[in-house]
Structures are given as C-alpha cells and as structure tokens.
Structure 1
Amino acid sequence: MAKVCITDAVPEAGLDGLRAAGHEIVSWAGEQPPTRAELLNQVRGADAVLSVLTDGVDDELLDAAGRQLKVVANIAAGFNNIDLETCKRRGIVVTATPGVLFESTADTAFGLLLMTTRRFGQAERLVRAGTPWRYRTTFMLGRAIQSMTIGLIGAGQIGTAMARRCKAFGMQIAYAAEHPMKSAARDELAAVGLPLDELIATSDVISLHCPLTPETRHILNAERLAAMKQGAYVINTARGACIDEKALAEALKSGHLAGAGLDVYEHEPEIDADLLEMENVVLLPHLGSATAETRTKMTGLAVANVVAVLEGKPAVTPVPGF
C-alpha cells in the first residue's frame, strides 16, 4: 500500500481508482487551498502526489516529500508549475491530464467571446446594480461576430474545439502557423494558417490556446497588441503570462482594443487594477475546465497515472520526456 497525497480538493468520484487499488489517500481537507508551508507538510512521506496547477513542484517540495516519491500527477493539461528537469534528475515520473478538458475549456472561451463582443458582462452588472434602463434601439449595442475572423494562437484540441464553435456562428477561422492545426480539422473548418504577426494584424479576435513556455511567455506583448486591428478583441483561456497584462490594460485604456475576455492572469489570482475597473473587460476566476464532469475525468486520469506508475507500469499520459 502506497501513500498518495492530494494537494487540494478534488471531485471524490475521481478517486475511485485509488480506493480500488487499496492505497492510502491523504487529502487536503481545508476550506481554503493550503499555504506553502501546509503544502510542504502535506506531502511528507508521499509515494505519489496529485498536484494542481497552483502547486509549485520544485526542489523544495520534492525534498519535503522525500526520496520515496515516484510520481507527480498534475491535474491539468499543462505542467508549467512543475520543474521537469529536477523531477527527471530525481527519477520522478511527471504526468498531466490532456484530452479530457478541451470541450469545456472551449465552451469557456466561446462564452467569453460572446460576453465581450455583445457586452453581456457589462449589461448583467448594470441590471444587478439597479441602474434604470429601458429598451432602445441604440441601447448597449455590441458587435456581431458573424463574418469576423478569429485568430487562434494554439490550434490543438482546445483551439480546434473553439474554432468549431466559431465556425458554427459564421466566423472565419485563422491560426498561427507556428502553432498549427491538424490537416483534417483545417480542411473541415476551411482554416487558414498565417505567420503569427500577420495573424495578429489581420484578425478581429485573437484567442489564446497555447501552453505557457519560454517561447509563448508574453507572446502578446505591447508591440503585438499595438499591431492588432483597431477595435479588435482578445480572449485568453490559456495561461495568464501568455499576455503582458499591463500592456493589455494600456491597449484597452487607449481605445485601441475594443475589449477582452480573460479567464487567466499573469500573477493569478491577482489581477491588474486597471482591468478590474474596465467595463469592456470580462473577468472569470479560472473556470476553463470547471464542469463537474470534466474535473472528475481529469482527477480520474491523474489517478490512473498514479496507479500505473506505482504498479511499475508506464504512465497513461506522461508529460513528454517521461
């Protein structure tokens, strides 16, 4: 029987595989996520750790866990919170949960698109504030997305799922050739691959679906934001640091960009103060994959990875290189 540490609350149904395997489960029971000190204490003596993307998995955490640690199973499609080189050096397998959250995350991205272009977020706040209103033909006019071009930075599973939603609503699909779409999906959606800077300059909406890497950190920087079309929109359900948040706020304040819909932030959970004050910005608290069904599947896949590794078998969905 191995000791498996779960660093934060997860859907209980996702843990059935651990229970069936007979492993000891050590779960975080606090109403709030653990502090760093609590996290380090939580993982002591663990043979396996189920982590979430807010957990920094580094030398400090691995030292706290101990030499017996065999696997870190991230309950996320990404793994930028994990020091992969350190884990590899220590012989610790790292896994993620790709392939189960793309539909729910694309739903979130498309929801942000509609909320931003049609001003639904602003309108809902107006009603809740008790502000007097009446129907008028000029009242709170938004923008129709039909015939707009959406430019995808990242056209993998999530980006492609977003493209399908946009195509169904009459949008033209383009993607950064540096982050390509599979040929079958490209043909199905009549999608056009463009060099990144051309994509940014010609799209009405830029939607980010790329992983956070050294190459994609601030991929939307001040220069590229300035190169976007006047009145364009930005949607981000990827990672906050893919955008220079302060530069985005400036582009919105100046009126160069018409709006932004954000689910992730550069210094999450902190958000640039200017963005909080803007009516043309929709802000969500990182809800991308937040459906009961998807989060249960993510947890179950992380559990399947843990069980496999503890049984001496290959992980189901290892991070590349593991």
Structure 2
Amino acid sequence: MRIVADENIPLLEAFCGDLGTLTRVNGRNLGRDQLLDADVLLVRSVTRVDQGLLADTPVRFVGTATIGTDHIDTDWLKARGIAFASAPGCNANSVVQYVLSVLSLFLQRSEKRTLDGLTVGVIGAGNVGGTLTEVLAALGITVRVSDPPLEASGAERPFASLDDVLACDVISLHTPLVEVGLHPTSHLLDRQRLAGLCENQLLINSGRGAVVDNRALLERLQQADAPLVALDVWENEPSPLPDLLERCWLATPHIAGYSVEGKSRGTEMVAQALHQWAGVPMSASLDNLLPPPPVSGLALTAQCGPLEALHRALMTCYDPRDDDARLRKLFAGAAADTRPSFDQLRRDYPVRREPASMEVRLEGHRETARLLSRAGFRVTG
C-alpha cells in the first residue's frame, strides 16, 4: 500500500508503518502528480480534496486528521466509491484549552477577580463549540449559544439568537465554513455585525478564518471604540493581512487545536479507520506514544485565590502569548511572500500538552479545586 500524507500529521510512522510505504508532502502545495501511484491520501485542513486533485489517480481511501471536513468534497468521493474517514472531536479539548487561556488573559487584563456576571457567546455548537459550552458552564460562566442548523435539527439545548450572542462579553466562533444553503457562515460577521461590537468585548476566532470578513474587521479595528480581537484563523492563509495581524490583541498561526493530544488523536482515529478498511488490526496505542509534558506538576498555596490559581495553571500549561510573539516576529521581518514561514511555525510547533497532563498540588479552598478540575487539570492536595 502506498500512502501519501501531510507532513504535519504526527505519529503516522508508528500508526501506519505496518501498512506500506509512507511519503510525506507539503499539504498546502499538494498536486495531482504526487498522487499518480498513491492508494491512500491523508491530509489536514490546508488541502482541498476534490475531483481536481484526485481525478485519474488510483487513490481509494482519503482521511483527514481533523474535526472539520469542509475542505473535502465528500459527495464526489462517495460517488467515486472512495472510502473516507475524518476525526470528529479529536482536538476539541485542545481548542477549549486555547479559548480558556485567551479568556483568562482577558480577565487579567480587565482586572476581574470573579467569574460572576461574565457572559460568553458561542457560535457553533458542534464537537468543539459543544465541548467549550459544557466546560464554560461547569466553570459557572453564563453561556449563550447560537447554532441555527443544530437548533433546526431539534437538538435539546437552549439556543439564543445571534444578536443575543453578539452582545456577550466574549464571543467565540466555532462554525464550519459554509458558502451556500440555508445557514451560510462565510462572512457571518460582516461589516454591519462588527460595527455592533464595542470596546469592552472580546472576539475570538479559532474556527474558520472566512467566518469573519477580515477586511471589514481591519477597518473596525482602526476605530477608537473597537473590540479586542484574538485570531487564530485567517482569510487567505498562509498570507493573512499584515495590518490586521498588527491590530489584533492576540494573533496565532492556526494552532488552537495543535496540542500533542489533539493532533495525535486525529492521527489515531484516521489510522484506525484505514486499518479497518485494509482489514489489518492496528497494534499501536496512543498512550504509549505521547511525549512527556514540558511541565508535569504545579504547586499552589492557599494564598492563591480561585481565579488566580486557574490563570496560573492555564498559563503554565499553555500561554498563547508565546505563539503570538512568534507570529509577530515572523511578520515583522517578512517579505511579501510569507507562505513558507507561516507554515513552518505550524510544522515546527513546540510540544504543548493539555491540562489533563498536569497535576496541580493545591493548598486552598474547595472552590479553587473545583475550578481547576472542571478546566481539566488533575488536582491533588
């Protein structure tokens, strides 16, 4: 079996080395000529997989090691009898970690000492947005959710209007990119909706870049009463608008889901589907392949209040300002074409583990232990 795979999919050699020959490629620049002798194609979200890429190739199995599938023409694959697998939910916890860390920095900036009264609006309640909603609610935060397709399907949960969600203190975007149909999301936050946001609000986009009109957002951020904005995804990746990046409060290179666990779970799920398709049992186990965390333990005394303890634990595990600094350094000296360097930040991403990898030893109040546990940390003491 001949497998062609994106160079940014981790642990494939361990999971799929028993199935045949593995060739690594740049997923963003992948062309049909690289697939003329391939049986299997494994991608991430930067590769558009459709008739233009696969026509007249021997590829019979396509897998994407991602939650989203809007970069895959699944209807065409089905019509051609090409097997397909994705990794729903694989990096949901990683994106939640990203959002919680950004939210914690926002609370520090706002000098808030409590979560009382804080409202967070979540647009898109699928694998990621749904998990985020549950974690935020467990932390005691008031959450408003907008997801018209899910609401129309009869899902049993409280939904709010988009206007109500956009009135929250923090707005977090987690929709797929939908161009047409009853509920399109392309430029869902257009010039008019961006104008309604105020300077006391925070907008986070870790879903799809084009859900926000980036040029309209740049115009909005040039105004005196602009909201704070944290962008992890961008229109025209890997070449986002440099002026927009400069004006964002936090700017990161599409890495919200890039925890070791998030990426590796995606690999494991797609590898399992590939082994089933090939009729070969999979022997590798993710538990034996993860690297040790950079920090495995944190000790907090009773002098650290609940929200401060949560902030310190989140920042110890993952501080998005590090990714922000790397991206800004790249663009500060970038030539017109930043494509290779933007992708290099993602390819060479440092080891980042999720909260469950870190034990927090605690001398403190029950409320502190509750917050830390519900954010995913292992709490002892």
Structure 1-normalised TM-score?
Answer: 0.75
Secondary structure of 1:28's match?
A: strand
* Alpha-carbon separation, structure 2, partners of 1:177 and 1:276: 28
Task: Verify: 1:272 aligned to 2:241, yes or no.
Answer: yes
Q: Deviations over 1:94-123 (max 9, x none)?
A: 22111221111111122223334545xxxx
* Alpha-carbon separation, structure 1, partners of 2:114 and 2:150: 23
Task: Verify: 1:208 aligned to 2:173, yes or no.
Answer: yes
Which consecutive residues of structure 1, in runs of 5 or more, have no partner in the other structure?
120-140, 187-191, 313-322
* Alpha-carbon separation, structure 2, partners of 1:63 and 1:267: 25
Task: Verify: 1:19 aligned to 2:9, yes or no.
Answer: no
The residue number in structure 1 matching 2:279 is 311
**Equivalent pairs: percent with the same residue?**
26
**AA at the equivalent of 1:54:** V
- Which segment drifts farther, 291-300 or 226-235? 226-235
Partner of residue 76 from structure 1, selected from 60, 66, 69: 66
* Alpha-carbon separation, structure 1, partners of 2:269 and 2:147: 31
Which consecutive residues of structure 2, in runs of 5 or more, have no partner in the other structure?
281-381
Partner of residue 46 from structure 2, selected from 41, 54, 63: 54
CA contact (8 A) 1:218 1:243 kept: yes
* Alpha-carbon separation, structure 1, partners of 2:129 and 2:160: 15
Q: Deviations over 1:271-297 (max 9, x none)?
A: 22222222x520111112212222111
* Alpha-carbon separation, structure 2, partners of 1:35 and 1:178: 31
The residue number in structure 2 matching 1:151 is 121
Secondary structure of 2:144's match?
A: strand
Offset at residue 169 of structure 1 (A): 5.0
The residue number in structure 2 matching 1:217 is 186
CA pair 213-15 structure 1, distance change in 2 beyond 3 A: farther
Partner of residue 142 from structure 2, selected from 172, 176, 181: 172
CA contact (8 A) 1:17 1:307 kept: no
CA contact (8 A) 1:110 1:165 kept: no
CA pair 173-9 structure 1, distance change in 2 beyond 3 A: closer
The residue number in structure 2 matching 1:296 is 264
The residue number in structure 2 matching 1:238 is 207
CA pair 159-255 structure 1, distance change in 2 beyond 3 A: farther
CA pair 277-19 structure 1, distance change in 2 beyond 3 A: closer
**AA at the equivalent of 1:8:** E
* Alpha-carbon separation, structure 1, partners of 2:113 and 2:198: 16
CA contact (8 A) 1:230 1:256 kept: yes
The residue number in structure 2 matching 1:247 is 216
Structure 2-normalised TM-score?
Answer: 0.65
Offset at residue 301 of structure 1 (A): 0.9
RMSD after superposition: 2.7
CA pair 164-257 structure 1, distance change in 2 beyond 3 A: farther
